[in-house]
Amino acid sequence: GAVVSQHPSRVICKSGTSVKIECRSLDFQATTMFWYRQFPKKSLMLMATSNEGSKATYEQGVEKDKFLINHASLTLSTLTVTSAHPEDSSFYICSARPHEGVSYNEQFFGPGTRLTVL
């Protein structure tokens, strides 16, 4: 149980294009999903908290117009990197917190998406 998928797993795009990454909870409903960015050999940096049916909450320093987040249902959140540039190249990981049955701050992570902007 508690499986989270991400699509695509890898994407290469040209500078200036937009890229959409999907995060799905496969066997549970998630009121809250989280988007992280990870640099090589570094820890996870929280970008934003995504709540179903409401606007995402962005961490300080994260441009909300650059990283658009939509949480349209209890099983799907999307992150769109708009007008991507090489400095946006990174490993993006989503996580989901089950709607029910979780007492603590446990999150279940997707496998990540490697974005390379040329």
The residue (of 6 and 84) whose beta carbon lies closer to other proteins is: 6
Instruction: Name the minimum Å distance from CB 82 to other proteins.
Output: 24
85, β-bridge pairs: none
Can you tell me which residue has the tokens 């990174």?
Answer: 90
Give the whole-angstrom CA distance, residue 65 versus residue 42: 25
Kindly report the backbone phi and psi dihedral angles of residue 6, in degrees, each rounded to the nearest multiple of 5, phi listed first: -135, 145
Q: Which residues bind other proteins (CB under 8 A)?
A: 4, 6, 32, 34, 41-44, 46, 49, 91, 93, 95, 97, 104-112, 114
Give the whole-angstrom CA distance, residue 56 versus residue 108: 19
The residue (of 18 and 59) whose beta carbon lies closer to other proteins is: 59
The residue (of 6 and 82) whose beta carbon lies closer to other proteins is: 6
Instruction: Name the minimum Å distance from CB 99 to other proteins.
Output: 12
